[in-house]
Amino acid sequence: MNFVTLNNGLKMPQLGFGVWKVPDEEASSAVGQALETGYTLIDTAMVYKNEHGVGQAVNQSSIPREKLFITTKVWNGDQGYDNTLRAYDESLARLGLDYIDLYLIHWPTPKFDDYIDTYKAMEKIYRDGRVKAIGVCNFEIEHLERILTECDVKPVLNQVECHPYLVQQDLKEFCAKHDIFIEAWSPLDQGGEVLKDNVIERIAAAHSKTPAQVVLRWHLQNNTIVIPKSVTPSRIKENFNVFDFELRAEEMKEITGLNRNRRNGSHPNEMNKR
């Protein structure tokens, strides 16, 4: 496993396991399989409605809690200062944990303009020692600039949709300049067209790897944190087996050159659902 050091000194696994759209009753077994495989970073969210199942797997695991890295998120309808403090306690209770390693704002929801108050509540939780790090999801540069100007604790990362068809180069450069990591959700284009791209398939064949492994390796070598999701044991293992090869500089450039600025999810400025 590769680890990165966040801007507050906390070490975080660079490859993790996501559980978006995993039903709560399946989350425990899927996360258990991931933990057995070697993952220690688990990414969930209140709105996924599977924090209970994730917590079950974590609490039943033989891995010491301090060696695990658990992320969850405050949902749009729970934003605002007091709401966020309550939402954090509720996530802790569902997970059955004493603390969360990383707490994130799920979307900026600019229509409601309450992400600053939300982040200030997260700063309080952080200063009180109840969470080890705080950050954001799906923030554009304009949203990050407000956080950096109006708040005191710099986000450790920005979790965004990112894959070879949505490279996010400008956002990556802005975040790198401010020592904020990019964490990729939908890193494999949701198993879609990217994995059938001729360039990806050719590079995969050259390394005797799968297209998914090549795309994950591209993320890792771009200094991106990545959280692929699967409930299939063989895929869970396949996605983990990406530390025994390296892409050449020209291969990295080819993959980056596939960018189409194509999203599967909503644009952050348009996602105002509560």
With cut-offs at 50, 70 and 90, classify the pLDDT of residue 152: very high
Q: Which two tokens stand for residue 255?
A: 């993959």
Question: Could you confirm whether 48 is annotated as catalytic?
Answer: yes
For residue 18, name the pLDDT band (cuts at 50, 70, 90).
very high
Q: How far apart are CA 63 and CA 198, in angstroms?
A: 40
Cα dist from 46 to 18, 76, 189, whole Å: 13, 10, 23
**What's the average model confidence in pLDDT over 121-131?**
98
Active-site choice (48, 103, 119, 165):
48
Q: Does residue 86 surpass a pLDDT of 90?
A: yes
Quick one: average pLDDT of 10-30? 95
pLDDT of residue 35: 97
The structural domains of the chain, with segments of one domain joined by +, span 10-188+223-232
Question: How many helices (H) and strands (E) in the chain?
Answer: 10, 10
pLDDT at site 231: 87
Determine the pLDDT at residue 12: 98
- Indicate if the pLDDT at residue 119 is higher than 90: yes
Q: Are 211 and 195 in contact (CB under 8 A)?
A: yes
pLDDT in tens, 34-63: 999 999 999 999 999 999 999 999 999 999
Of 172, 126, 173, 132, nearest to 151 (Cα)? 126
Specify the pLDDT at position 24: 94
Average pLDDT over residues 78-84: 98
**Residue 97 CB partners (closer than 8 Å, separation 6+):** 55, 58, 59, 65, 70
The domain 10-188+223-232 belongs to what CATH superfamily? NADP-dependent oxidoreductase domain (3.20.20.100)
Contacts of 163 (CB under 8 A, 6+ apart): 184, 186, 187, 188, 189, 194, 215
Residue 168 and residue 162 in contact, taking contact as beta carbons nearer than 8 Å: yes
Distance CA 99, CA 88 (A): 10
Q: What global pTM score does this model have?
A: 0.96
The pLDDT, as a whole number, for residue 36 is 96
- Give the tokens for residue 263: 């999203």
d(CA 46, CA 78): 10
* pLDDT tens figures, 177-231: 999 999 999 999 988 899 999 999 999 999 999 999 999 999 999 999 999 988 8
Q: Output the pLDDT for position 1.
A: 87
Average model confidence (pLDDT) for the chain?
97
- In this structure, the number of other CB atoms found within 10 A of the CB of residue 270 comes to 9
